[in-house]
Chain A
Amino acid sequence: MGSRVPHIVVIGGGVIGTSIAWHLAKKAARVTLIESNDLASGSSGACDGLVFMQSKKPGIHLRLAMESLKRFSDLKKELPMDIEFRQAGGRVVIQTPAEYQAMEQFVQAQQEIGLDVCLMDAKDTLAAEPFLSPDIYGSTWSPLDAQVNPIKLTLGFALGARKNHACIMTRSPVLGIHTKNNRVTGVVTTKGEMAADMVVNAAGARSGLIAQMVGIDLPVRPRRGQLVVTQATSRMIFSCMISAGYIAAKFDPSLADDAGEGMSMEQTDNGNLLLGSTREFEGFCTQNTLSGIRRIISRTTAILPALTRLQVIRTFAGLRPFTPDGLPILGPVASMDGFFMAAGHEGDGIALSPITGELVADMILGQKSAIPLTPFSLERFTTPKGQAHG
């Protein structure tokens, strides 16, 4: 590499960008993180904090998630901010016999590859979560599932990166990327130009706009998710939950006909309940809608009737970076030297941020990585032999 230390510019101050910056900075790389607004001002500040294993499809997706999970307990100690990581287990709530059947198969596949998950009937479920509606049909339970505060995680990565001498520029929208002979050479922001040997696109739902600056089309689309926040209250749910309809909506739209988008519930350390979520293609609009709020509330109260006594204090909406096969796009891009992708995690960005940061940093620094990145390359969408995942 010669005597000059290459300059790596990471675009995006969300959980993925800050994780990459932290991992790079820890290894003494010269790194600058550029964020157009404030840290965690996009989807990382408008999402829930589920670190769910059960919702991942068995295969490379689940493997990635499991590796990521392992790293959270170290992060809790290493990052200079309390990330409120809590591994209290997670539950997929089953509301109909049809869902029960579908989940039986899903759980079996998960158990076969060694995921610690089990199916529970209504009685056992209610014993563990007494506030749930007696009308539920059962649940699946995994002690591995966890939750984290996504904002604190992002800020923690950023502060940690800065402690390791990364430069963090907020309120600096990227205006363009300089290239020469198909190689990135610099980045232009509203605050001026800087030379760059490598550029990492970690702009989440907006990564498509960054890629366009170097003439690359990304299949990433913003998929809006609305959330409803209640007042803080004493513990009402003991683990985080999603509905079986959520898994269906994620993997098998045909199963989701009745359940629609499914729901997610999480009670934060602070006591607020985060109720979600919708899956909508509405461009970059982050407004909430009355129908979205009503859908979330009717679905969550059907499962947790005690919610009706609480006050809604806030709603918000984030944009998931959706990809056609539900997997992120990670690694180099064939058509542009020095340009790397780290985006498209859909709803898994928070859960996958530790492993994403590590893998991308290792790859950029030419080190051996824990998981090969080939299945996540952008070229899987273009080359004919690249088989879409699942």
Chain B
Amino acid sequence: MKRAYDVVIVGSGVAGIAAANTLAGHGLEILVIDENPHAGGQILRQNCRVTDGFWEFDPRLGRSGRTVSIRKIVQSLRPIQRPKGITCVHQARVLGIFSDLQLLVHVPDTLYPGGSGSGRVLEIDAGYLLLATGARERCLPFKGWTLPGVMSLGAAQILMKSSGILPARKTLIAGTSPLQTVLALEILKNKGNVTAILDENHLTKKLGLLPLLKHHGSLAGEGAMQMLRLLIRQVRFRQGVRVTEARGKNGLSAVVTAGLDRKGNTVPGTFQTYPARALAVGHGFTANIELPVQAGCALDYDADRGGWVVRVDDALETSVAEVYAAGEITGIAGAGKSFVEGKLAAVSILEKLGEKTGPDVCVPELVRMQKQQMGYASFLNQLCQVPSSAYEAIDDEVLICRCEEISMGEIRKQISQGFVTGGSLKKATRCGMGRCQGRICQPLLFDILQALTGQTPEQIGSPSFRAPVKNVPLESFLHP
């Protein structure tokens, strides 16, 4: 591993791989850093197991100008010999970005045998930086959501994809996210059972959002096919219900739900109890903006893009010069947009470097496709959106910050004392100051503040993060 690279790509999901493919072959030294053991990110987790080589999307992908579906992305992925000039480091984390694009990177001991076992922290200089750090799931808190057996939809998928383990013999699926059907199919494929899918969205809401999919026929088709396959397998579907409580002593044993009216408020007297050992629940996604925020990149708030996202120009450059962003961190819109943006950001960097990009690359066409793919964001994020009444209804005893064990009651109390900005509420409650550094509770705290105070996102303020954006052993700093 060198200490300086022409381009450093953070994250090797769809956007990261697409960018690396485009940047390869220009004589550049490129470093791809990923915290997972393998490339692929969340979508291609299972498809990128071999570590020795590299991955490539079929160069014809996306050339038709039509939208790029997840299915096509998965199908066009193929293993290749690692291109000259590309270095991949896995299980490594970028802890911070400092002036002159100096990166603080924690690398595992496998790269430097004979270490302490804690890895070590290195400084890497980047000529250009491409952030493709993806997104994570979010979840509406309810009583008992910290019980063992309650997990996010993505966590249940990772259990199966990475470890080959089912969440339980029977899994209950809930929330607002389109991942519900994806997970259900994955569970059936792995010979598990789905107790039921409890979708918070009424059919009328979903139908009302369909016009947003007018340029995304293939995605709508994919969704419809998934539903059809689940119906054929006789999976129970309920719409317009929300999980209000998870019960159990040492682990989950039962889930209580309530029916919802058209506005998403729970209807009294509609409670129902399901026995369950595993509950997978998700309410959409939130962008992994910790690193760009730490680096000083400006943000925009857009509920239709999933909340706070990184502000980029048409070339995908952020407000910090030479720092580019691609994929979910510029707006939650799925793998198709990530693919196009990875490519577009790479082309922008090549143009800045004065490199010729080949006859098959057309920047205006990429920009057009990027805008088209972003259209899906409105559908996706409106579908996942939880009404503010749901945050108002959270019980006082529900833990919001799991690390510091801060309850909704404490948050309500401090809001009533006047701590109504994100920063001041964090100071008054310690919510978000714990070990996960607010990855779970910060977006929640923001939504709670919006729901309880009615302020604008700008009044509440965007989150702040400091290096190291993820925990790192103190010992790793001791080896220069």
Contacts and interface: CB of A to CB of B under 8 A. Distances in A.
A261 B475 CA distance: 21
Contacts of A316: 466
A48 to B, nearest CB: 15
B435 A38 contact: no
B430 interface: yes
Nearest to B99: A287
A311 B466 contact: no
Given A313-B437, A313-B471, A38 B477 contact: no
A290 B404 CA distance: 27
Interface in B164-199: none
A312 interface: yes
Nearest to B116: A308
B474 A290 contact: no
B423 interface: yes
Interface string A23-60: 00000000000000111110001000000000000000
A293 B433 CA distance: 19
Contacts of B116: 308
Given A313-B435, A315-B467, 15 more contacts: A38-B424, A155-B427, A171-B421, A270-B404, A287-B98, A287-B99, A288-B466, A289-B98, A290-B102, A290-B104, A301-B478, A309-B475, A310-B474, A311-B473, A313-B468
Contacts of B102: 290
Contacts, number: 88
B123 interface: yes
Nearest to A41: B423
Interface residues of A, number: 37
Interface in B110-157: 116, 118, 121, 123
A311 B478 contact: no
Nearest to B471: A311
Q: Which of B102, B418, B434, B466 has the largest count of A CB atoms less than 10 A from its CB?
A: B466
Contacts of B98: 287, 289-290
B466 A315 contact: yes
Contacts of A162: 418
Contacts of B121: 290
A311 B112 CA distance: 20
A149 to B, nearest CB: 10
B480 A294 contact: yes
Interface-central residue, A45, A294, A298, A314, by most chain B CB under 10 Å: A314
B472 interface: yes
Contact of A155 (B428, B472, B473): B428
B468 A307 contact: no
B64 interface: no
B471 A297 contact: no
B471 A312 contact: yes
Contact of B435 (A45, A168, A311): A311
